[in-house]
Amino acid sequence: MSLVDRIKKEFDPHPPLQVIAFTPNGFLVESCNTFLDMEKHRNDSLYKVLPFLEDHRRFILNLSDRTAARELNHQSLSLDDGSIIEMSGYLFKREGFILLTLMPDEQKKPFPAEPFSHNNEVALLKAELEKLKTSRHLKAEYFYKIAHDIKLPLTEIVGTTYMLQNYIHNEKGQEYLKVLTQSALTLDKMLKDLLEFSRMESTDISFEKKPFSIEEVLWLVVRAYDYTSDQKNIPLYLRIDRRIPPIVIGDPERLTQIVYNLIDNAMKFTDKGNIEIWVNVTHLLDASCGVEFSVTDTGIGIPADKIDSIFEAYHQANEAEHHKKGIGLGLSIVKQLVELQGGSVYVNSQVGEGTVFRVKLEFLLPTE
């Protein structure tokens, strides 16, 4: 069924009715020709054929499918037999085209409410939102696959640079190798962040609930920074509350990501001093345990006017350092992973003195 026929059906039972579909710039698309033979005007601008349309040109050019119809009353039209008839009708947009309905004044019908009812507007908005979500999901999923394909050769580069340390012994070669190793590690971290961020954008994140040792997870993360810590001469200290239960129930991989990103952020912006990781019990119940993880550095600090935006994706508190410090996803990932688990993250900082990030999470305790 053509667009014009569908519009006529909406005026059911409809009076003698002419429906004209045209483009916003005034060229005919389709007409049922009840009163006026529009086919002979197919190559003419309807703004000239139907002069009253000129008064509504601005409205027509700004019409959307959800805009309410404009009522037209008492339009004098010359019919093909030379007679003149007073007609009324409506101007509206549907499926990308402008629709004009015309009917004799005395037989005028109200505009059908259903197509432009509130419920239908909501349905249209929901459909557009769902389409946007689907498009965003597909883009994120595609990016994730591309980034994942890059990950394998990059991992081989990182591994090979470590192996070369056993074969290159001259001072200049070792210097070049250190630069290559650090660059490879930086690129590896950036790619990991991009992979994680795109995965979080394209899928619903789930969290495991399995037994693990908080102390063991933290020591593994700290040891992963042995090389960087030695190269920058920034000692890394881990201090764990003795009240921390030996085993908790939660997601060890997500905890690893959170602490890893916080340490990585501290290491990037600290050139002297040290970094301390504190793990403290905030409360201990029969079935659960609250834990606060804090990472304290003696780095450059964060300006007060930047504190609120540091967790935004792709944001750097110091944009001038962006090319050296990464792409600004680490803290955004931390915030999402923490809050999706019902936790909270806080930051205190003083320019020139350092920064403290605090993360509070709740863990279940084994029942036996």
The answer to whether residue 143 scores a pLDDT higher than 80 is: no
Both tokens of residue 366? 């084994």
pLDDT at 36: 87
Q: What is the DSSP string of 306-356?
A: GGGGTTSTT--SSGGGHHHH--S-HHHHHHHHHHHTT-EEEEEEETTTEEE
Any residues with CB less than 8 A from the CB of 340 and at least 6 apart, and which? 205, 207
CA distance 65 to 94: 5
The answer to which of 22-26, 60-64, 219-223 has the lowest mean pLDDT is 60-64
What does CATH list as the number for 208-228+235-368? 3.30.565.10
The answer to whether residue 112 scores a pLDDT higher than 50 is: yes
3-state secondary structure 214-226: HHHHHHHHHHCCH
Banded model confidence at residue 358, pLDDT cuts 50, 70, 90: very high
CA distance 242 to 15: 85
* Rounded mean pLDDT, 215-221: 93
CA distance 275 to 295: 7
Both tokens of residue 14? 């409809």
pLDDT at 218: 95
**Which three-class secondary structure state does DSSP give residue 39?**
helix
Highest mean pLDDT among 52-66, 277-291, 302-316: 277-291
pLDDT at 106: 81
For the chain, the first-to-last Cα distance in angstroms comes to: 69
* Rounded mean pLDDT, 174-202: 69
CATH of 3-112, one of 3.40.718.10, 3.30.450.20, 3.90.1150.10, 3.30.750.24: 3.30.450.20
23 vs 144, higher pLDDT: 23
The answer to whether residue 51 scores a pLDDT higher than 80 is: yes
The model carries a pTM of 0.52
Banded model confidence at residue 117, pLDDT cuts 50, 70, 90: very low
Model confidence pLDDT, tens digit, residues 307-324: 877 877 544 555 444 444
pLDDT at 195: 64
* Rounded mean pLDDT, 58-86: 83
* Rounded mean pLDDT, 78-102: 85
pLDDT at 147: 64
Highest mean pLDDT among 97-101, 143-147, 158-162, 317-321: 97-101
Q: What is the DSSP string of 170-226?
A: SHHHHHHHHHHHHHHHHHHHHHHHHHHHHHHHHS------EEE-HHHHHHHHHHTTH
List of long-range contacts for 35-43, beta carbons under 8 Å, 24+ apart = 35/77, 35/79, 35/85, 35/87, 35/102, 36/77, 36/79, 36/80, 36/102, 37/80
* Rounded mean pLDDT, 20-45: 89
pLDDT at 115: 47
Model confidence pLDDT, tens digit, residues 262-275: 998 899 899 999 99
60 sits in which H/E element: helix 57-61
CA distance 83 to 77: 8
Sorted by where each begins, the domain ranges of the chain are: 3-112, 117-204, 208-228+235-368
261 sits in which H/E element: helix 252-268
Q: Judge contact between 41 and 93, C-beta under 8 A.
A: no
pLDDT at 213: 96
How many CB atoms are closer than 10 A to CB 24?
Answer: 14
- Residue among 301, 299, 326 nearest 314 (CA): 326
Banded model confidence at residue 361, pLDDT cuts 50, 70, 90: very high
Both tokens of residue 337? 């992973």
The answer to which of 162-171, 287-296, 320-329 has the lowest mean pLDDT is 320-329
Both tokens of residue 298? 């003696």
**Which three-class secondary structure state does DSSP give residue 286?**
coil
* Rounded mean pLDDT, 279-284: 95
What does CATH list as the number for 117-204? 1.10.287
